[in-house]
Structure 1
């Protein structure tokens, strides 16, 4: 049954693609793993609408949400090869492809969302974006994906001392494991779908994520203490296949770049709205939020993590420039 449904979905997608292609001189396929209605999906749809309008219908962008074309890593590879034209993925998924993106997974790299925007929208963002081209990709837009913070079922976390010995689920990522160790807690990598029951049964004490994920997963039901420490802010990225990009005229490239920049503004607005809704929902459900935390001791505790992962002169210079950005 599953195979049959998958085949049917593929056929329907193919038919939809063929129908769109017949109405446009060029139809670009764009992949997103997030569901329809998600801020990143809606932003790329808005970009598509603007591109179609400004090219008088010559260029269309078909957005395929919910991982219809594959998971992030697979769709990035397909975009590099020109099999699909555009992809929305996390900076973290590009880490093994574009080395310059690796530093954006460092804890407490950004002081705030505003600081992150200033970095991404300035010369550093342009420099990192340029690095994608040698990997057959063209960076179009940087999107928000919120900040990850700690939540648990035991007690409010107001200082590093409150983390000592606690067990937290983290993604299977060496940087995250080392971050927890530096804070005196125990990292427990596990699939996201197992977190709710693991907290409920006491296998782990908590996890870490952004407001919308904390809300939609239902984790707030079993972990009532949320500490807004914002230890990680990994942006999202929209990239185009360089093979596709090179087929476009300079005028059409300019149209797509401008539409992508406008979609960036929209996505950040939609994300902020979604965060606010999720925060209001979990607070109304009785979650205790610690928002006045002193982050400096947490930042200072990351020295061994930075010593381990920021080793080259180029990486050290980039981190210093990011931290110096106002």
Structure 2
């Protein structure tokens, strides 16, 4: 998948050293109890990574985090607002949901802009300073980022050409993927993850563009028969803490939390990269036909990605455009 521990050995070494330093320097402190909201079930690798992160935090700090996954505390799309209001200390968000706030949120969601894990990692690093600033203005701090696996089409028919998409009702998850879907010929609708099964049952949607992980989470085989993998997009989630909650921690706990987050970021990217083949196999075991998108579909998506990038520039600030230019210069 283009993302291995060897590829990012320096990042791994930094994470290990940071964890070790935090552990050595940590001193007993008053226990801090936090609740955390996330939007996905425990079977999801994002949630599994969060649970490991929580264990690392517990071992190296005085912070105890109680996780409420799968929208059980707060719906996924409302978690960022709850964090800004101080209702919860920490939560997981999906960056692509917030394209109406700033175009930077959807840059990684443009098809074939960052089409491999290595490219997505580089884009993440270049975006980091920009995101740090806008989240700081909202009283928030991003602890780490984790990418979704590459994306594909869940349909009730084999995909042989772009014409197969014409007029079909597609669920997507962001303004960027909505635009892509419409340019491919779909009737594209943004819907929250939790509403997908009901939308199928009522006929609101008849296809999805999303990751193998999401397809398993919602048992896509109940409503579709074919999965056509395109790669194309490695959108990201982020684990975010309220700045006031972070500032209230002791210096030792702050260091331990950041060290655990650094380790979780690297682990999450590795988990994402490792999961695609296994999850496609799971789709097959549940009766779905899987295939790689045919060349005409890939070429059309690349063409759409280039057009969307130019549209993105028109809405982006000079500072945001500078982030994209720096990324493209390193390609």
TM-score bin (small chain)? 0.7 to 0.9
Tell which has more relative contact order, 1 or 2 (C-alpha 8 A, sep 6+): 2
CA contact (8 A) 1:154 1:205 kept: no
Q: Take 2:219 and 2:290, find their aligned partners in 1: how far apart are those partners?
A: 15
- Equivalent residue for 2:138, pick from 128, 135, 158: 135
1:279 CA drift (Å): 0.6
Structure 2 residues without counterparts, runs of 5 or longer: 1-28
1:123-179: per-residue Cα shift (whole Å, max 9, x none)?
Answer: 33343234311111001000122232123223333x54554x241412375433332
- Give matches, 1:131-170, under 5 Å: 131-157=134-160, 159-163=161-165, 165-170=166-171
- Give matches, 1:1-326, under 5 Å: 25-55=31-61, 58-97=62-101, 100-120=104-124, 122-157=125-160, 159-163=161-165, 165-171=166-172, 173-187=174-188, 191-194=195-198, 196-197=200-201, 206-220=207-221, 223-284=224-285, 285=287, 287-290=289-292, 293=295, 295-311=298-314, 312=316, 313-326=318-331
SS in 1 for 2:158: coil
Q: Take 2:69 and 2:185, find their aligned partners in 1: how far apart are those partners?
A: 39
1:250 CA drift (Å): 3.4
Structure 1 residues without counterparts, runs of 5 or longer: 1-22
Q: Take 2:199 and 2:295, find their aligned partners in 1: how far apart are those partners?
A: 25
1:261 CA drift (Å): 1.2
CA contact (8 A) 1:167 1:188 kept: no
TM normalised by structure 2 equals 0.76
Cα root mean square deviation, aligned? 3.0
More displaced stretch, 264-273 vs 208-217: 264-273
CA contact (8 A) 2:110 2:305 kept: no
Q: Take 1:97 and 1:174, find their aligned partners in 2: how far apart are those partners?
A: 11
Aligned residue for 2:22?
none
CA contact (8 A) 2:226 2:288 kept: no
| Greater C-alpha radius of gyration | 1
Aligned length in residues: 296
Q: 1:252 to 1:275 in 2, by over 3 A?
A: same
TM normalised by structure 1 equals 0.77
